[in-house]
Structure 1
Amino acid sequence: MRVVDVNELYSPTGGGVRTYIDRKFGIMADLGHELVVIAPGKRDEVEERPGGGRIHWVRSPLLPLDTNYRQFSRVRTIRSLLDAIDPDVVEVCAPWAGALAVRNWHGRALKVYFAHNDNLAAYPRRWLHPLVSAERVERVFHFYTRWMHNMLAPFDAFVTNGPTLARDFTRRGFDAVPMPLGIEEGYFSPDHRDERLREALLAQCGLPRDGLLLLGLGRHHSEKRWPMVIDAIDAAGADIPVGMVMLGDGPARASVEARIKGSPHIRLFRPVYDRHRLASIIASCDALVHGSSDEPFGLVAHEALASGLPLIVPDRGGCAEIADPLFAETYRAGDARACADAIRRLHARERTILRAAARHAAARVRTGHDHARELMAHYAALLERRRALAA
């Protein structure tokens, strides 16, 4: 099967969508399929990917609000590329110019909207919380939902990257089918835990070996709510020996750096791109702490759990989907005091039992191959249904 992803969220300096697509190239080739991505770039060019697949970069302007990304401006170019590639399935993941190009394209492919995020949750719902309820935001911005329904009316299917988004979009009247993502295979495991590395990280945080070493992993962006997490650790640190190592970068890095200057037990590091080194760091911490309640899937939580790490996560969003009380503590989203209480609760638990529960769950974490197999089977069933109806 040849799948074309017209992806307005793909960028060399992007976050979760870039990671997902980069891994998917190899996985699709492994399964006998072909993935082609059409993405906005600096110039028109084609980039071949090792092992199969390619990216058609379409010259596009920068996105003013986040210069890590660009926005399509040449709809005809996208349609011409689709004509030339002739896919079996064409996906879009944002309801903007890319979706418009696919909406009005008259090729033979199955048209699929693949939701990687929810703009209502990521922006107005997050900006207005806690002043305005989520239900009120949905009512006020119903015009956007109506517009999106109209934009996607000619599409054949709607899938999401997990059950959290599926529920939100189903409530808005979309026939959304969850296709949960999965982690990269061969890297993350509890077996990578290194006690000497753990002690070295605790020492960098100014803590003894019996301290609680938390991991903060992810982009420095307002939606991740790092200031709230930092406040929670500072508050919990008044009662227990707790620290955090943060790995990440992004547009809010300067404000994150400024915020942790007064925090004696928090250390900020650049992203670690060596996957084996990253897997060792993750497995050597005592728990993952996460602040974003708007994660549609929560890839970092899945990677942490696959590494045998207990979780401290909000009670809403993709991370909450896997937060079993056997190995996780949840807290009221956006509430630093509640997060601090969750940290204290986890610290009070028997660590041997807690880690054993997380280690048991690690073996069941979904992989990228699991996701791709299920997604391709779904597409194959939709194509077969279309052929049967046409016969």
Structure 2
Amino acid sequence: MRIAFALPGLHRVHRGAEVAFIAVASELARRGDEVTLFGSGPALPDRPYNFIKVPSIPRERLEWLPKLPFLRSETGWEEASFAPGLLARYRPGDFDITATCAFPFTNFVLRRRSLRGGRPPHVFITQNGDWPAYSRDAEYRLFDCDGLVCINPDYQERNRDKYRTSLVPNGADLTRFRPGPPERERLGLPPGKIVLMVSALIPSKNVADGVRAVAALDDATLVVAGDGPLRNDIEALAAELLPSRYRRISVDADDMPALYRSVDAFLHLSRDESFGNVFVEALACGVPSVVYDLPRTRWILGDQAYYAPHSIEGIVSQLTRALADGGDLVAGRVERAKAFGWPVIAAKYRDFFAEIIDSNGRSK
């Protein structure tokens, strides 16, 4: 099977969608498929898949640009800078199937036909939401795909009547994300209780609520691993409410398991997270997690998390419980994480890709 994944951030950033694409591509390539990734980062050694570098402008440099149809955020501008290079390097005849989670421009390029009029079937993956598939407004009316990977049950229920769908969650590398000793000194973390948020600094992640909640605790430090356009607003709020008890850090991807193992509680407050690889990463490391009480978070975490109502007081209450959590509960979290190992997830992807290719062949 000749498979192409395309996304601007591949090999350049360590976000949820990029992590998922690389993990699935690696597993499929090890099983014998010919997998190619198109991304804007550098080629990396010892990867089992092919990598084609496509230039793009990082979204962090595009935050100042206006918000327009087709270009509704810095993410859209980044994708627009990626699409011309992808158009030049992508050859439809070289692949049996293509996949992305980026719309509109990457989706358009991967659906383009070759000079002979053909193209491989295209799968859209709802890493960043299912709005392109579900909405019929503005540019979303131009969306199409041959198969839709729904990374949570809500997306599948909403789209199954219109598209051929498959429910495939994200996962984690359970050989790396697992319980182990803390490494606070090496990572430069402070002493005392630490609450960790691994999050982009954007409105939907509600990091400001994390600052307010930790401020209500007497002896905990909030560590945020992430960046985004709200960085200055969050810094200012933390300076007011958490003086000397807030730290924003940047951690290499290889050090993320050690970071989880070095904290006392994990906090994630997005209400509309498509899936959230971070849930599984923290789960696999045995860290107690505090999350909003939503059907989607319960689908992932089961009874292995502390569920907060949508209030600062509720978050504080559950953080207090999580920080007092004992090691006796680690085994249950690790067991829950086993359902989300990348080999299990990659097998689901391959089955769906084969189904879409077979269906596309029969429809011709």
Q: TM-score, normalised by structure 1?
A: 0.74
1:338-377 residue pairs with structure 2 within 5 A? 338-347=314-323, 351-362=326-337, 364-377=338-351
Between the aligned partners of 1:168 and 1:13, the Cα distance in structure 2 is 30
Equivalent residue number for residue 113 of structure 1: 124
Distance apart, 1:354 and its partner CA? 3.2
Equivalent residue number for residue 181 of structure 2: 193
Check if 1:216 corresponds to 2:197.
yes
CA-to-aligned-CA distance 1:327-354 (integer Å, 9 cap, x gap) = 3111234x32321222234356x52433
Aligned counterpart for 1:57 among listed residues 40, 54, 64: 54
Check if 1:176 corresponds to 2:174.
no
Cα gap change, 1:78 to 1:389, in 2 (>3 Å):
same
Aligned counterpart for 2:147 among listed residues 143, 157, 160: 157
Q: Give the AA of the match of 1:86.
A: D
Distance apart, 1:147 and its partner CA? 5.6
Contact residue 48 and residue 55 of structure 1 kept, 8 A: no
Distance apart, 1:53 and its partner CA? 1.1
CA-to-aligned-CA distance 1:207-226 (integer Å, 9 cap, x gap) = 4xxxx532222222222111
Q: Give the AA of the match of 1:53.
A: N
1:203-282 residue pairs with structure 2 within 5 A? 204=190, 207=192, 212-235=193-216, 237=217, 241-261=219-239, 262-264=241-243, 266-273=245-252, 275=254, 277-282=255-260
Aligned counterpart for 1:329 among listed residues 277, 284, 306: 306
Between the aligned partners of 1:365 and 1:332, the Cα distance in structure 2 is 26
SS of match in other structure, 2:79: coil
CA-to-aligned-CA distance 1:276-318 (integer Å, 9 cap, x gap) = x432231232221111122211111111110011210112375
Between the aligned partners of 1:360 and 1:76, the Cα distance in structure 2 is 45
Contact residue 296 and residue 317 of structure 1 kept, 8 A: no
Between the aligned partners of 1:76 and 1:288, the Cα distance in structure 2 is 40
Between the aligned partners of 1:352 and 1:341, the Cα distance in structure 2 is 19
Q: Which runs of 5+ in 2 are unaligned?
A: 66-72
Contact residue 195 and residue 263 of structure 2 kept, 8 A: yes
Cα gap change, 1:49 to 1:169, in 2 (>3 Å):
farther
CA-to-aligned-CA distance 1:63-87 (integer Å, 9 cap, x gap) = 5343796233697865564436520
| Aligned-residue RMSD, C-alpha | 3.6
Between the aligned partners of 1:214 and 1:60, the Cα distance in structure 2 is 33
Identity of aligned residues (%): 21
Between the aligned partners of 1:317 and 1:66, the Cα distance in structure 2 is 30
User: After the TM superposition, which of the residue ranges 89-98 and 46-55 deviates more from structure 2?
Assistant: 46-55
Distance apart, 1:119 and its partner CA? 6.8
Q: Give the AA of the match of 2:108.
A: L
SS of match in other structure, 2:350: helix
Equivalent residue number for residue 4 of structure 1: 4
User: After the TM superposition, which of the residue ranges 292-301 and 74-83 deviates more from structure 2?
Assistant: 74-83
Equivalent residue number for residue 126 of structure 1: none
Equivalent residue number for residue 132 of structure 1: none
Q: Which runs of 5+ in 1 are unaligned?
A: 122-140
Q: TM-score, normalised by structure 2?
A: 0.79
Contact residue 164 and residue 296 of structure 1 kept, 8 A: no
Q: Max radius of gyration: which structure?
A: 1
User: After the TM superposition, which of the residue ranges 280-289 and 80-89 deviates more from structure 2?
Assistant: 80-89
User: After the TM superposition, which of the residue ranges 84-93 and 316-325 deviates more from structure 2?
Assistant: 316-325
Cα gap change, 1:193 to 1:10, in 2 (>3 Å):
same
SS of match in other structure, 1:250: coil
Equivalent residue number for residue 315 of structure 1: 293
Contact residue 11 and residue 44 of structure 2 kept, 8 A: no
Cα gap change, 1:175 to 1:252, in 2 (>3 Å):
same
Contact residue 147 and residue 163 of structure 2 kept, 8 A: no
Between the aligned partners of 1:302 and 1:6, the Cα distance in structure 2 is 24
Cα gap change, 1:215 to 1:83, in 2 (>3 Å):
closer
Between the aligned partners of 1:176 and 1:197, the Cα distance in structure 2 is 46
Distance apart, 1:177 and its partner CA? 2.0
Q: Give the AA of the match of 1:161.
A: I
Contact residue 60 and residue 73 of structure 1 kept, 8 A: yes
User: How many residues align structurally?
Assistant: 346
Distance apart, 1:96 and its partner CA? 0.8
Between the aligned partners of 1:355 and 1:299, the Cα distance in structure 2 is 18
Cα gap change, 1:61 to 1:219, in 2 (>3 Å):
closer
Q: Give the AA of the match of 1:375.
A: Y
